[in-house]
Amino acid sequence: MSINTAGGVYGLSGSGMDIDALVKNLMAGQQAKADALLQKKTVLEWQKSAYNKVYDDISSFRDSIFNYKLESTLSPHKVTSSNTSVATVTANSDAAEVTHSLVVAQLATGVNLTSSDRLNSDTTVSKTSLATHMGITDSFNLNIGDGKTNKIITVDPTDSINDVVSAINKSGLDVKASYDSTLDRFFLSTSTTGSSAEIQLSSVGTTDSGQKFIEGLKLGTSNTTNDGGVYTTTFSSATGKDAVFQLDGVELTQASNTFTIAGVKYSLTGVSTGASMDSGDNPVWGSSNATNISVSFDADTAVASIQSLVDAYNKILAELNGMVDETRYKDYTPLTDEQKTAMKDSDVTAWEAKAKSGMLHNDDTLTSLINSMRNAFSNSVSGISTTLDKVTGKNVTYNNASSIGITTGDYSEGGKLTLNTEKLKAALSNNPDVLNDLFGAVGTTKADGTIDTKSQGIVGRLYDSLENSKKQLNQIAGTTANAQYDTESDFAERLKDIEKQIYSAEDRFDMMEAAYYKRYNAMEVALQQLNSQSSWLESFGTTS
């Protein structure tokens, strides 16, 4: 009986030969070459993924240090108010370290109008249209303004009061409308404050519908004239008020209760005791109690910011050092599917851990980045003036990281930074601008348009080094974000090349395997025929 396999036939001749096993042994060399190509591709994919991770991590670090280029981070100020019921305050880096005196006579207000009564005294009346709700019989144009811009809204008797509210709110004016159906009252208010905030209502038409509507809102006094059958109704415009206050004895006004003066942001919350406005809208200061606004440099926040920077730097540096120093076990190649099948799961995991180890061992790009990061902190920044040390009475120059307490540990720590907070606080006490000078300096521009790194601040150097490395890594292996579509990076090209080699090897493998099976199949058939002839001849000998 013959046995059919995927590749050939054996058993016809009675030889007992396992053709599949024979072919497999003959193809072992080609299988090893094919496996080597697949393993090489796997290693390239692992390396590409490792590069992508570095790109993502240094990109995140670069984004996180951007704020350390800003004066608001490097020169923080804290500000306090002696009476938060009058004003709350914050300060930016432009604020001078002084104490301000604030007296508030009037807060800024907008315009708020409310119906003095129900629009219709009949609580059972239908509110589905202005016709039933307010007795409007004809269409009219409602002119509404906010003191800067006017818009015309066409109102129809079939509209409801809510339709009018919607049209006003969509007009783009600094006027907002609302309606409470339970109270049957209409509300208008400005979305801005100050003396320029205003609400204007008017209507011109050949019927009194516009007059009925404006008067029916019951928002206040209006005036109507009839000139030859043309009705003109005008609502007495209402305006807001400016905030009125004294700052350091100088009378000032602001359209909003929130404003910034000399780097201090004020949020007025109430009127000072003893201050008011008289009937003529003039401020009366009287014996008002002033609120003290104290601005000072916030050394604690500055120190905390630098500590955060040092911590973030150490984290990314440790990651880069780990990748560069990680041992590469070249004898541990990626496992084939056949090899995995013959191993325990725990053994597979342990093997692959070593196989994936050291993908970026001693990588030139990472090594260069590590060195540039270290140089950003270790190299001095030129152009920084000397500062008088309040303790020693001598001039000192805070022109590098170590001068303010940022130093590196011993060689075994791989350039890890440590921060001496007391030394940094002493430097800040001597010169509150030391961080801005050392970390935030933009640097001078050279004749070729590039930045002179000697005069560039630490964070600028660090930021630019990371950006340059990002570009290099993108060229080498692309990014995680575009990994699926990357066809242009160096690794993408290498992977395309090896995939071609794999396809060619597969074709050669199939051709050689088919040739071997063909030969052995032919041999089996020939042997079977020979056996048949031999049996036939033997039968003649028996009969004689």
Confidence class for position 488, pLDDT limits 50, 70, 90: confident
- Within a 10 A sphere around the Cβ of 94, how many other Cβ atoms? 13
Overall residue count recorded for the chain in this entry: 544
Give the whole-angstrom CA distance, residue 32 versus residue 37.
9
Give the whole-angstrom CA distance, residue 363 versus residue 2.
59
**Model confidence over 348-380: pLDDT tens digits?**
999 999 999 999 999 999 999 999 999 999 999
- The domain spans of the chain are 3-38+489-543, 77-108+242-297, 112-239
Place of tokens 């630098």: 306
Confidence class for position 536, pLDDT limits 50, 70, 90: low
Give the whole-angstrom CA distance, residue 197 versus residue 103.
24
Give the whole-angstrom CA distance, residue 227 versus residue 195.
33
Q: Judge contact between 76 and 440, C-beta under 8 A.
A: no
Confidence class for position 27, pLDDT limits 50, 70, 90: low
Residue 142 CA from chain centroid, whole number: 45
pTM: 0.69
Q: Judge contact between 100 and 77, C-beta under 8 A.
A: no
- Give the per-residue pLDDT at 313: 95
Mean pLDDT (the chain, rounded)? 89
* DSSP H or E segment with residue 320: helix 299-325
- Give the per-residue pLDDT at 210: 93
- Percent pLDDT > 70 in the chain is 93
**Model confidence over 218-243: pLDDT tens digits?**
999 999 998 888 989 999 777 999 99
- Give the per-residue pLDDT at 52: 94
Statement: residue 398 has pLDDT above 80: yes
**Model confidence over 65-87: pLDDT tens digits?**
998 888 878 888 889 999 999 99
